[in-house]
Structure formats: structure tokens, C-alpha cells
Structure 1
Amino acid sequence: MEELHQKVITDADAQQFQQQLAQYDDHQLHTFYDYFHEDLIYIMKSLDPLSIQKLLSFQNIVPVEQYLSIKKQCGTCRFAEKLFEDIRGAGKDTMLGFWKSLFVLQNDHPHPNLVGMLNELTNTGDILEQQTNLDKNGYNLPQDLTACQIQLRKNLLEKTENLEEHRAPGLTTEHESFHITERYLDVIVVSGQHFRTHSRHELIATGGIHEHYLQRVQSNLERISPNRLFRWCHRKRCVPQTVLVSGVPGVGKTTLMQKFVYDWANGKLYQRFAFVFFFKFRDLNNKDELSLAQMIIDEYPYLHNQLDKIFQEPKKLLFILDGLDESKNQMDFKSSQSYTNPHSIETLNVVVSSLVRQSVLPGCSVLITSRPTRLAMIETSGFQRLSEIMGFFPKERETYFLHFFRDYTMAEKAFRYVRENGMLYTFCYIPSFCWIICTVLSMCFRAQEAKSTWTPKTVTQLFVSFVSNILANHCQEWSVDKELLISIGKMAEHGVNNHILSFTKDDLETFSVDTFPHVTTSFLMESGQPPHVSYSFLHLTIQEFMAALVHYLDYSPVRLQKALEEAKSYKDGRGEIFLQFISGLSDSSTRSLLKPYVGDLSSSASKHVIRFLQLSMNQDIALQIPDIDIREVLNVFACLAESRNKALVSSSIGSTRQLNFSEFHLSPLDCTVLAFILQSCKETELLDLTKSYIHSEGLERVASVLHTVTNLSLTENNLRDEDMPCISSILTHPQCRIQRLSLRCNGLTEESCATLSMAVKENKTLRDLDLSRNKLSGKDFNKLLKVISDPACSIKHLGLQEIKLTPEYAKSLLSLTNNTNLTHLNISSNFFGDTGYPHIQKLILEHRSLKEIKVKMNDFSEETEKNLQQLQTHRPDVAIKF
């Protein structure tokens, strides 16, 4: 994400800001307050407890303890709503004090939404009330234009008021339709382009970033609601006229645009635009040359007579163009080609790029959506706001499951199953993937009622189940047209290799894909009107699955080897999921679901893929080699996880006892994959996860197998107290092998000590524990110290460097003399000082098994340090290190 340059807020700045707001009357302040209400709620959710306390305490705007009690009892949302409601009704002085406290809060919590909100208020306050009223009420138009606008609204309402949802194969051949207000769920839209330069598959890259945001970095995530897309952009310091929304396939770009247009047509959103023109790039593919006027008239013919009059005030116009990635035209938004007359005939590229560059209808607004991969190939600097759809967060995912199943118990069962399966859950941020999962699980649950217990464990198994259900409902006498599936698969593979999502009738004819059979329409969607019809797979992952499946339906050693090598060679990650699918299909039990419909899938293809994986592992897996590409290693691991071939993993990397992922960002999905590898190897000597950015989600996914590791480093992962129960479960596992554990440099406090102490007491294998550079001082630290001081404790090396220990703890450390196994102790960088020296001295003299103690940087005077050095003569067997 693009970083904001944080300015230090001074008292003078805060005073000036308050004086600026004081010029507004009560009504205007209430208008601002209501306008920013959604932002305020979101900001409050991102605040840590200390920041909330500082905010409320500033200038004594509210009784702090009362509201902190509400937060504790009712949660952040209710607390925020109550707080804002009370401040709004408390008078001008309280409201001004609250705004000032928010302004000062930027120093400690420069959340992008907070910075942007205050920036907008500062720069647009004088016109904000006018703009708010305009967005609410719109313009007073002449009678003839009002009639056109009414007709346009009616037309757009008819086009956008219903959402069509595919139904599970076999339930019905028709799509089910719902009113958009009944089924629409908010998706997360954020600012910036996070992964345009990433070399991973776009679905996996976004999934990793998405899960990263679910952790503790939400303070850096600027959320943009649909009604804020054309609001003040503090990064560009302007109200944007050109906005770009990117998102991976199926994440909800088109649905978001549909809801956007519906809300405008319904009078609820952006009434500053008198006319909104909504186009889909795939419907424009048949128009090689056209004028902007003709482009509008073709879609909205009833505007023909008034179009010139509509063009006279471009600032009242919004053009929405959905699906740039589906356009066959390569857009050049930096083109210098002049196009100023909306009635002139030009190529679609020139017409659209001229709208963006404002050379035609200057002052109009433009909103374009696209896949990220397409954006990586074009210049986007002409857009004043770049944003991404991140899809569903957990609450929306759970709501989607409830909408799909319409039965709370069934929805909860399905969501819990997916939540516990890291591979499936990662992709649940994508609405269309949620549909696929729900479709398959609904069938599995029905099958379970019929005494079948099979449910998918991998993404490959999910899609095998999905396809087998399609075939089950469209085949005759347990057979299906295998040649048709081969044709569909070859076309799918051609699309994957060439970034093609939308296919023409010519493409279908080239690959001999017949659109008449129902089985074809179960894979492909048709859009547009004859003769300009296009086809696309229900989702990119279905296209990728069919591209992999074709090699098992029609095995050719040469073609398969070429496909594997090409997929691995792509630097943009387009072959990543294809390789995982083709690896997943190497598992005979996974393939067996398709046998009743297509017969045996090629076992020769399976052996070919396994040989390829073995070779890949030999080439990529030696983690001890300097400069090894960790991402390549993890890609191979992901393929192995899909294959479920534990024997292959064990035989190939069983001798590789050391896995080093230090300073490499492991997403929760990577952790799921790593868990499979560790489970397959069973015994690993070293797993180094130092600075791997593993947070709660990732740790939870890999925790079930970490007990098999002998030497485990979780150093510098920003782990928190809430992660300690997970760590405790690892240490208390009956088969725990961990001898060395580093929790160095995390965010643990004394609250972790009680849980950790119980785990250490139960554990029988731990010999080396490093807790350095955490904030462990507090009464519960003594509980942990008591366990480590027990004669039965096996810990030999103990790291307590820089854990905020003060002089009174020096006496407590004397209890360590009871642990006769302890040989190495690091208590450097604490605050013992000369007051604590007598106890440190006694510890050194009386601990008979101690071989080394580190005591540097403890606020000792020169004289005390000399005394410590002289102790060496009394205990020559102990290395006293400064």
C-alpha cells in the first residue's frame, strides 16, 4: 500500500484545526458528523485499547471509565455507536473537543481513514455541506432532461434490481433470481494497488494479502465504501474524476458495479451525477470503431434526441465501464491521440482512453473495473483513485453461507467445516468461490444423509466433486461425451496460457466445443446478444481445473510435459493453480469420483506428474543452499499438499531435517501447506520461522504438527498473549519433541506467563527456552519463574534478556538455584541496577550447575561491574559475560 507521510501534530496545529471548525454552526457540524459516521466507526474498530483511552481522556470530553465499561460489555461496535450518539447530542463544545482529540490522535495512530477524513474536512469543509446535499438531492434539470433521466433510472433499475445465482447442478437448470437488496453483501474495497508486481497467481496473492490484513495490520488498511469512491482523495489532494477498481476474478467487481448503479437509479447514491452510463467491455468487443455518442445510443436509444444537451454539462455525467480485462482491445491510457468530439468515429481504445484523459467531455467522471493482471500491462497514472476489491471478510463469508443454505444449522456446519480447512478457507474471500464450496458441501451433506461420509479436503477434491455432480446430472446411462470434455479442457488450457477469460463463437468452433449439450452450459456462461455472443467459465478456477483435467482424459506425454514446464516457467504465476490441480489429480482416490462418468482417468498421466514433482523437489527443496528461492519451494510444497502423497514427501525430503523460512513472509495458506509437509516428514530437526510474519491465523494452521519439530524458532513474529494457548497446546502435545523453543522478540506480556508456566510444567522435552525481548514483568512472571525453578524442570538454557525486569525481580531469580539442570542464563538488558546486584551475586555464587550467565546492560555502576568481574575468581567454572 502507498504509505502516507505522517506529520507530527503540534499543539498549535490542533488549536488551529479547532478554530477552523468553530466557525461552523451546529447544523453544519452535525452534517459533517453524519457524513463521516461510517469512517468514524471503522477507525474506532482499528484502535488498540491504549489509543481509545487516550482519545477519550483528551480534554475530558466524556467519562472514560463509563465508555470503556460499555466497550468491554457490549463490544467495539456498540461502544462506538453509543459514544458518537452521545457526543452528537452533547453540544458544540463537546463535538469540537472530540474532533480536536481525533486530530491529535494522528500522532499515535495515523490510520489512513483517520488522516484522510481530517484532511477532507480541512480542505473541503466550506463546500462539504453543499456537496452532501447535492449527492442527496441532485440537480434541478430542465423538464426534457428530467424525462430522460426518469427513463434512464427506470431502465437501469430493471437491469440491476435482481441478482442471478447459479444453482447446484441437478437442482434446477435455471438460474435463481433474488432482489439485489436481499442478497447483496458488502465487499471490502481498499485504496492502492498491492500486488500488481507480484509474481504469484492473482487469486493466491490476494488471498495471502487478504489474510495478512485480517491480522494486526488493519491500522494500515484504508477502506473505501462505494459512496466514497468519488469523495476527496487525500493522496492526490483532489476529488477524483477517474477511478479504477481492480479485483481478481469472481471477487465481486460486477456485482459491486450493479449495486452502485442500482443505488444511483434508486436515488440513494451520488445524485451529483444526473446521468450514469453503464457498459460492459465484453459487450463492446464487437464494436471496432464507434463514436462515444453512438456507444451511448446503442445501449440507451431513448436518449438520442437529448444527447447533445446532456453533453453540455460533462460534470453531471458518470461513465461506468466494467471488465477491462475482458476487452479484446489493448487500452493505452497515455495515448496522445486527440479525440474531442463525442460524435467522431474512432476505435474503442481511443474513445475510452479519451474519457479517462478528459480530452473528450472534460469534467465527466469515469469508473472502470479490471482484473489486476490486465492492469499490470497498462499505464494507470491517469486515474486519480486506484482501489481494490478485497472480497469478503469473515463476517460476510458466514452471512453468505447462511444465505445459501437458508438453514442456520446447516450453514453453521458448512462454515465450520471450511473454517477448519485452511486450503478451502483461504479462497472464501471470493464470493463465487463461496458459491462453489457451498454447492459442493450441500451435495456432500445430502450424501451423508444417505450414509456417505466423503467431504473434500483439498481444493482439487472440491472441484472434482463439483464436476462429478455436473456430470451426474447430465450424463445418460452413466456415460458422458468424453470428447466434449476434452474439447472444453483444451480450450480452457489455451485460455489459461494466454490470459483469456472470454471466448468467442470462433474460439468454440476452433476447439470443437458444442454449446448445445446441457453439460457445456454447466461449465460456460453465455453473455451478449446474437450475433455478438461471448462465453466464459463460471469462474477462473473452474477453467484452470478443466485445463488440468484434460491431461488425464487425453494423456499425451509430450503435451503434458510441455504443459508442466510452461506452467512452472510463467513469472506472473498464471500456472500456479493449474499445477496444483494437475498434482491433486495424481491422487487415485481423488480421481475415483469421476470414474463412474468418464471411466478410468490416465494412471500414466498420474505417474508422469509424480515424476515431475520428484524432479521439482530435487531441484527446489534443498533449503540449506544459499539464495534458494523459497517461493519456488513453497509452490512445490503446495502441489504435494494437493497430491496428498505423504510417501512422496517422506521419501523425497525425509532426509532434509532442516527447514529454514526465516525472513520470508508465510501466508496462512503457506502455513497450511507447511503443516502437511511436516506431518508427512513426522520428524524435523529444525524449523526456523524467524520473522516469517506468522500471526494467529498462520500459527493456528501449522500448530497441529509443530510438536514434531526438535528445534523451533518463532522469533520476531509479533505474537501476542492471545496466541499463547496455541503455543501451549504445542508444548503439551503427548508426542511433543520440542527441545529448543525461541519466542524471542514478540509482543508477549505477563498475561502469557500463567499459560506458559502450565505448559512448561507439563512438557518433558524442553531444554532451551528463549523469552528475550518480550514485556514479561508482572506478578504472573513469578508463576513462570516458579515452574522453571522447580528441580524437576529440564530447561538448561534460559533467555530472559530485555524483558523489563526491575530490581525487585533480582531476588526472585535466586529461586533458579533449585533447578540443577540450568546451565546457561541470559538476564542482560534489564533494569536490576546496583540495588539488584547482591541477589545477582548470590545467584552466581550459589547456583552450582551454572556454566554461563550474561548480565550486560543492567544499569550497573562501574564499581558493581568490577565486583561482578571479580566474582569470576570465586566461580572460575562460570562464564560471566558483559
Structure 2
Amino acid sequence: SVLLPNEEIILISFFCIHLESFTTCQQTLKSNMKKKFQSVFEGITKSGNQSFLNEIYTEQIETMSWKPERAETAIRHGDIFIPSPEREEPIKTVMTTGMAGIGKTVLTQKFTLDWAEDQTNQDIQFTFPFTFRELNLLKDEQFSLVELVHHFFSETKGILKFEELKVVFIFDGLDESRFPLDFYNNEILMDVTKSTSVDVLLTNLISGKLLPKAHLWITTRPAAANKIPAEFIGMMTEIRGFTDPQKDMYFTKRFKSKKQASLVISHVKKSRSLHIMCHIPIFCWITAKVVEDMLNKKDGEELPKTLTEMYIHFLVVQAKLKVIKYDGGAETDSNWSPENQKMIKSLGKLAFDQLQKRNLIFYESDLAECGIDIRAASTYSGVFTQIFREERGLYQIKLFCFVHLSVQEFLAALHVHLTFIKSGVNLLVKGKMKSKEIEKRNHESSETEMYKSAVDMALESPDGHLDLFLRFLLGLSLETNKRRLRGFVAQTEESLAINKDTAQYIKEKLNHHGIEKSINLFHCLSELNDQSLVEEIQQSLCTGSLSAHQLSPAQWSALHYILLSSDKGLEIFDLKKYCASEEQSYVSTDGVSFKKVPNNNNTITLNCLCLFRLSGCNLSEKSCEALSSFISLTTSSLKDLDLSNNDLTDSGVKLLCEGLMSPNCELEILRLSGCLITEEGCAALASALTVSSSHLKELDLSYNNPGEAGMKSLEAILKNPSFKRDSLR
């Protein structure tokens, strides 16, 4: 139709007003986002130690896997929605997993801040960061999607047509969600203006029925990832925390004195438990707080060597700060005043009760169930700010949480421990945490029985949510640790016999559980100062007397534990020394371990390998998939890989090529002699090894059948200046 002049002017005027409103809303939102996210608190929210996010942010290794059959690759937080040639279709929904304290929330804050500061993703018109801890407060209320956005982001009230915009919704902390999230039985909703429950809004938004063009980013701990069906997730990413160099960098920045920083770095590397835990940024902070306090003392006390020792010292530091700062007193041999004890015991009960319910965020009603009134809670969060904190949610409603999940687990273990010492009551045989194994046994109110109960519960947990709790509980049983809590924990008779019985019970369990469970049991033995199994395997490694035919499942687990946690790493690993050649074997899909099929306990982890011999180990195509992932990791230092005499075939070689093309791959020698490779596999190798990033200097393809076409393909490899003509066999 032909527009009349007046009508045209009206439409142009309307368009300009709409554009001006849109621009104003966007700029106001960005301005507020910059104010909100430009500064962060490290570990705590009330101590005043506020830092600029851009100054302290350290890029962590984040890996993605957008198709199960493809090797994982590294990805930056700002690129998760940017299309690449490898992706067959745009990614709508991304889920990022990572353990508590690994930096998921900071990652989303950095993404939002970069967008607000016009640094990245400027094709995105609006970014809306939500947290489940705040959405939980609206569980019983009704909203339309438009109303929900306006509710949290009042700057956008001039925007009604979100269907026409490119927007990103961030939902941080799925593991804290208290919504049922029933994706298959909730009503279907496609109207952004129709009011319904927040639960229905979330399931329709995530499934793509509501606002199908919007991008979503969801963060969660791994245990809660299955709350959303895999069919609704376009790409999975994982934050793996600090690498070893980044750990060193953290402590170097944290301590002004290079001597102190060097001391801490050296000490952490000597302890398997501490060194492994320090890949979590917030654990580095806890370690720094404890070590800083201890270095200022003149009593020469040794630095903590186990996880339990570290957290006991952390608790002591907080109690001491409370005495000095709030009570006007001086540091004494015992900082466990009656008021301090009451606070810690109350927090311990809260920690244990909420751990049973798997809650990380607590509301006033949760505190009331533990007999804590809101005034007392505010006092706790004001005094023990580095243990327990208070936040302001929607409508200024108070939210409470522990500074980190491990702190909650430690206090929960302390509560169970104190309750037993005081009353003889084993809390683990009551209520929801009771294990099936416990129900089969006749109970004795003994300390040993309590520890066995805890071991059984942790082993029965499918996602390992009680692993740290168990380690802390066992660590608290040592007399040395009880003495560290003198004045708070009553002294008991020497418990060497109890510790010995518990350690023996753990060793028996090693023979009946998979490797993931076994690794935690070794950490438990470490907390009990029992290193006998590990020392036995270490001695065998040193003397060269280790044989796969002689190893029990427990000893296989010990070998895996040593290789996983050794700070020295392993330069050469010849798998045939540990695996009988006639047994079917494969490299696991995490790209880091080797598994043997028969009992599923025989797992060996590769750390700092330079030479990896897998010749004649019955590897398959699946092995190539995992190896491809491994050699493409930024942490891989593998230079020489021998895969000779395995039936990899062309399909396996193609999978391996994906890793060879990674810019992170530093492989220099690759042996593929006798691997059933034809012209198709040779063509794939030629394509992969002619890329400029390839470091390969030697390739052995003898005893394969490339044919004339394959030979012509291989000639292209020689164009790589790194190659010498006699380096291609």
C-alpha cells in the first residue's frame, strides 16, 4: 500500500521514539551492570577487601564438548555464543559445570562486565544475569517472562517485544535451585506476556518453547547438571580451575614477600591433598589466610599438611579475629570463649542439617529449624564473615550461605564429631543420611561404628557429595587434631586402636569399588596418617618389581592415586609393564586415564608425560578419541606417542587427527606402525600435519597399506619445514 505523507511521518516518528527508548534502556542497563560487576570480594562479602574484577581475573581452562563423539577443545568465556565453522547450527543453550568455588559465578560476571563495557559480544542487545538463589524467593509467585525481566531489571520497562531482540539469559547456580523443573509435564507456554509460575517460565525458556531465539547460559555443580535433560543443552563447558603455574602465580601475588610465597608454594606441593585442592581458587585463598597467620607467629608450629589440619587452623584464625576485633581481648592459648563455642556449634548444626538436604543457600526459615533466630544469624555473619555470610536478595530479603561448600562440610563433620563426644549419639544412623549398609548391621554406639557409617554413606552416594565430609570427620578423630581444638573439643583417651580399625575397614572397601571412590578413600587414609599402601607401591615402583599380575584391586587403586597426585609427574610410561597384552584395554574418554575393562579398577592417570608407550595394547577407535582429547589439552606435555601394533584403522586415525590439529598439541614423534591404516587414514594425517601449528618431526607408518593415493597424500607432509625426508617411514 502507498503511505500518505502524514502517515509516513507518524511512523517515522514512532520508530525514532522506539529506537531512542531502546537505546536508553540498553545504555542504562549497561551502566548499572558495570557498577554492579566491576568490583568483587575475594571469598567474603563484608571485610572490605574489594578488588576490581578486571585486575584480578585470571583466565582459567574452560573446555567444551558440543558433540559426544568429538574431542574437547579450549574455549574462552566470551566466545561461547560465537558461531564457528565446526558448529553445524547456532548454540542456543550452554551449560557450564564446575565444582563449588571453582569460579563459575565470576566467569558469568566477567562475561556480563565485558558486554557492559562494550568489549565483547556487541551483537547481543541485552544480557540478563539471574541467580537461582534469588529466583527461589519467587517460587510461589506468578509472572510473565516480560514481568520477570522488568522485575529484576527495571531499566528495561520500556521494552516489551523481547521476541525481536538478541538477548542472553544467564542462570547462575542450578545446584541451588529449589524448583521442580519438570520439563515433560509442565504446561507449554509460548506467550511472553502470559503470567504463570517461575518454574513453568524456566522450563519453557530452557526447552526453547518460550522465546526460541534467546541464548541461555546455565552454570551448575556437576552433581546437579542432570536437572536439565541433555536434549535441551546445545553445548557443555567445564571450568577446571587453576593450572599448576596459575597456583604459583596466585600465591606470588598474594604474598608481598617472595620468600614467603616460595615457602607456601613449596609446602603445598609436598602435600597431595593440599596441592590437588589448590586448583580451586577459593581454597588458595583459605590456604593463604592460614599460612599468613601462622607465619606471623613465633612458636614455629608446622604448616598444615592435611585438609583437616588446614580447616582447623582456618577456624582458629576466625575465632581469634573475633576475640581481638569484637571482644576487645588479646590472643590467648584458647580463643574458644563460651560465646564462640555457641556460635560454632549452631553453625555446625545448620551445616549438617542443610548438607543432608543438599542446600547451599539458607533462608530465615532454614535457620529457624536449627534454633537460630535472625538476629543471631546476622551476628554470626558479622563476626565470622569469612565462614558464614549474609547477602541481600530481592526486596532486601536476607540470604545466608557458607563462604564455600568445603567450609559447610567441615563444620557439618565437626558437629557430628562433637555430638558423639558429648552424648555418644551417632547422628549418621538417624534420619535421611542412614546408609543401606548400616541398616544391615547391629549397631554399637562406638566411635569406630560412627566412622564406618560415614564410609558407607560416602561410598553409596552416587555423586560423591559426602566425600569431603568423610575426610574431615576421619581427620577430626586424630589426637593431634583434637589438641589443635583444645578448649573446644574435650580430650579423650588415645584412639590409635580406633584409627587403625577404621583404616583397615577403608582398605577392605578399596577392593570393591571403582576408581573414583577409591581415590577418595586414599585421601581418607591420608587424613588418618596411614600411607602404608601408597608406600608399598612406591617402593615397588622404585625397585622395578611392580607387576600387573600381582596387583590386587586396592594396589591398582594405589598406583592410580600415586600417578594422579604425584607432584613430580611421570616422564615415561610404558603401559605393557602394567597390562597383560591379551586383556582388552582402552583409554578412557576423559582423555587423561587408561582403563582396563576386566574389573574396572585398573586405572592409570597420565601426568607430565613426555613418552607414552601404548604399543600392542589392544587399543581401539575409542582409545583414539580419548587420546585426541588428551594431546589437545593445554596442560599436555606429551612429545612422543607410540601406538604401534594396535588395530586403530582409518576411523581411529581420523579421530586422532583432531587432536593433532589443535594448536595446543606439542607432539613431535608419532608411531603408527602396523595399525591397519589405508589411503583414507593417510589422507587425514596429511591434512592434519600440514597445518602451520604442527610440531611433528617424525612419523612412522610402516607396515600399513597406504596404496599409491595414500603415498601421494603423505608427500604433502614433507612440505612441512620441520620434517626431514628420513623422518617419514
TM range (shorter): 0.5 to 0.7
Tell me which amino acid in the other structure corresponds to 1:526. Answer: E
Q: 1:269 to 1:612 in 2, by over 3 A?
A: same
Question: Which residue of structure 2 aligns with residue 473 of structure 1?
Answer: 321
Q: 1:506 aligns with which of 359, 365, 376?
A: 365
Cα deviation, 1:423-447, whole Å, max 9, x if unaligned, reads 2111222111111112222222222
Contact preservation (8 Å) 1:189, 1:388: yes
Q: 1:307 aligns with which of 159, 164, 186?
A: 159
- CA drift of 1:649 comes to 9.9
- CA drift of 1:572 comes to 2.2
SS class of match (1:307):
coil
- CA drift of 1:222 comes to 0.5
What pairs up with 1:826-865 in 2 under 5 angstroms?
Answer: none
Q: 1:620 aligns with which of 509, 528, 533?
A: 509
Question: Which residue of structure 2 aligns with residue 643 of structure 1?
Answer: 528
Q: d(CA) in 2 for partners of 1:721 and 1:535?
A: 44
Contact preservation (8 Å) 2:46, 2:385: no
Q: 1:557 to 1:614 in 2, by over 3 A?
A: farther
Q: 1:402 to 1:648 in 2, by over 3 A?
A: closer
Tell me which amino acid in the other structure corresponds to 1:660. Answer: S
Contact preservation (8 Å) 1:279, 1:321: yes
Cα deviation, 1:349-385, whole Å, max 9, x if unaligned, reads 2112222222222312111111111113431321212
Q: 1:620 to 1:188 in 2, by over 3 A?
A: same
Q: 1:662 to 1:275 in 2, by over 3 A?
A: same
Q: d(CA) in 1 for partners of 2:112 and 2:505?
A: 52
SS class of match (1:319):
strand
Cα deviation, 1:740-775, whole Å, max 9, x if unaligned, reads xx99979xxxxxxxxxxxxxxxxxxxxxxxxxx999
What pairs up with 1:439-478 in 2 under 5 angstroms?
Answer: 439-447=289-297, 450-475=298-323, 478=335
Question: Which residue of structure 2 aligns with residue 237 of structure 1?
Answer: 88
Question: Which residue of structure 2 aligns with residue 758 of structure 1?
Answer: none
Q: 1:429 to 1:312 in 2, by over 3 A?
A: same
Moved more, 344-353 or 184-193: 184-193
Q: 2:63 aligns with which of 158, 169, 190?
A: 190
- CA drift of 1:501 comes to 1.0
CA RMSD for the aligned pairs? 4.4
Q: 1:608 to 1:803 in 2, by over 3 A?
A: same
> Do residues 247 (structure 1) and 98 (structure 2) align?
yes
> Do residues 600 (structure 1) and 457 (structure 2) align?
no
What pairs up with 1:45-194 in 2 under 5 angstroms?
Answer: 142-166=19-43, 174-192=47-65
Question: Which residue of structure 1 aligns with residue 347 of structure 2?
Answer: 488
Q: d(CA) in 2 for partners of 1:672 and 1:491?
A: 35
Q: 1:279 aligns with which of 130, 134, 140?
A: 130
Contact preservation (8 Å) 1:325, 1:374: yes
Q: 2:150 aligns with which of 287, 293, 297?
A: 297
> Do residues 256 (structure 1) and 111 (structure 2) align?
no
Please say which structure displays the higher CA radius of gyration: 1
Q: d(CA) in 2 for partners of 1:539 and 1:667?
A: 31
Q: d(CA) in 2 for partners of 1:533 and 1:606?
A: 45
- CA drift of 1:589 comes to 1.4
Contact preservation (8 Å) 2:276, 2:565: no
- CA drift of 1:322 comes to 1.1
Q: d(CA) in 2 for partners of 1:427 and 1:178?
A: 23
> Do residues 546 (structure 1) and 430 (structure 2) align?
no
Gaps in structure 2 of 5+ consecutive residues:
1-15, 330-334, 429-449, 540-545, 568-576, 594-601, 618-641, 645-670, 674-701, 703-729
Contact preservation (8 Å) 1:568, 1:579: no
Contact preservation (8 Å) 1:276, 1:318: yes
- CA drift of 1:152 comes to 0.6
Contact preservation (8 Å) 1:630, 1:661: no
Q: 1:392 aligns with which of 213, 220, 242?
A: 242
- CA drift of 1:296 comes to 1.4
Tell me which amino acid in the other structure corresponds to 2:55. Answer: E
Q: 2:470 aligns with which of 579, 600, 606?
A: 579
Q: 2:200 aligns with which of 337, 340, 350?
A: 350
Q: 1:224 to 1:648 in 2, by over 3 A?
A: closer
Paired residues in the alignment total 536
Tell me which amino acid in the other structure corresponds to 2:402. Answer: F
Q: TM-score, normalised by structure 1?
A: 0.54
Contact preservation (8 Å) 1:567, 1:576: yes
Q: d(CA) in 1 for partners of 2:532 and 2:93?
A: 54
Q: d(CA) in 1 for partners of 2:418 and 2:121?
A: 52
Moved more, 532-541 or 147-156: 532-541
- CA drift of 1:628 comes to 6.5
Structure with more of its chain in helix, by fraction: 1
What pairs up with 1:218-229 in 2 under 5 angstroms?
Answer: 220-229=71-80
Question: Which residue of structure 1 aligns with residue 552 of structure 2?
Answer: 660
Contact preservation (8 Å) 2:522, 2:561: no
What pairs up with 1:514-553 in 2 under 5 angstroms?
Answer: 514-515=376-377, 516-517=379-380, 518-529=382-393, 532-553=397-418
Q: d(CA) in 1 for partners of 2:672 and 2:42?
A: 55
SS class of match (2:322):
coil
- CA drift of 1:571 comes to 2.6
Q: 1:308 to 1:246 in 2, by over 3 A?
A: same
Question: Which residue of structure 2 aligns with residue 268 of structure 1?
Answer: 119
Q: d(CA) in 1 for partners of 2:566 and 2:246?
A: 28
- CA drift of 1:158 comes to 0.5
- CA drift of 1:577 comes to 1.5
- CA drift of 1:178 comes to 1.0
Q: 1:235 to 1:330 in 2, by over 3 A?
A: farther
Q: d(CA) in 2 for partners of 1:486 and 1:432?
A: 24
Q: 1:612 to 1:395 in 2, by over 3 A?
A: closer
- CA drift of 1:256 comes to 0.5
- CA drift of 1:670 comes to 5.0
Q: d(CA) in 2 for partners of 1:222 and 1:408?
A: 35
Q: 1:559 aligns with which of 405, 415, 427?
A: 427
Q: Sequence identity, in percent?
A: 25
Q: 1:568 to 1:610 in 2, by over 3 A?
A: farther
Q: d(CA) in 2 for partners of 1:287 and 1:607?
A: 53
Q: 1:689 to 1:433 in 2, by over 3 A?
A: farther
Q: 1:152 to 1:377 in 2, by over 3 A?
A: closer
Quick one: higher RCO (CA 8 Å, sep 6+), 1 or 2? 2
Tell me which amino acid in the other structure corresponds to 2:131. Answer: K
SS class of match (2:73):
coil
Gaps in structure 1 of 5+ consecutive residues:
1-138, 196-218, 676-686, 700-713, 725-741, 747-772, 776-801, 805-830, 832-882
Cα deviation, 1:580-635, whole Å, max 9, x if unaligned, reads 11111222112322214x14355598865654443343x335x5xxx775555544
Tell me which amino acid in the other structure corresponds to 1:479. Answer: W
Tell me which amino acid in the other structure corresponds to 2:159. Answer: L
Contact preservation (8 Å) 1:322, 1:370: yes
Q: d(CA) in 1 for partners of 2:66 and 2:483?
A: 42
Q: 1:648 to 1:721 in 2, by over 3 A?
A: closer
Tell me which amino acid in the other structure corresponds to 1:637. Answer: F
Q: 1:491 to 1:539 in 2, by over 3 A?
A: same
Contact preservation (8 Å) 1:715, 1:743: no
Q: 1:319 aligns with which of 153, 166, 169?
A: 169
SS class of match (1:595):
coil
SS class of match (1:376):
helix
Q: 1:402 to 1:282 in 2, by over 3 A?
A: same
SS class of match (1:286):
helix
Contact preservation (8 Å) 1:634, 1:670: no
SS class of match (2:171):
strand
Question: Which residue of structure 1 aligns with residue 271 of structure 2?
Answer: 421
Tell me which amino acid in the other structure corresponds to 1:547. Answer: A
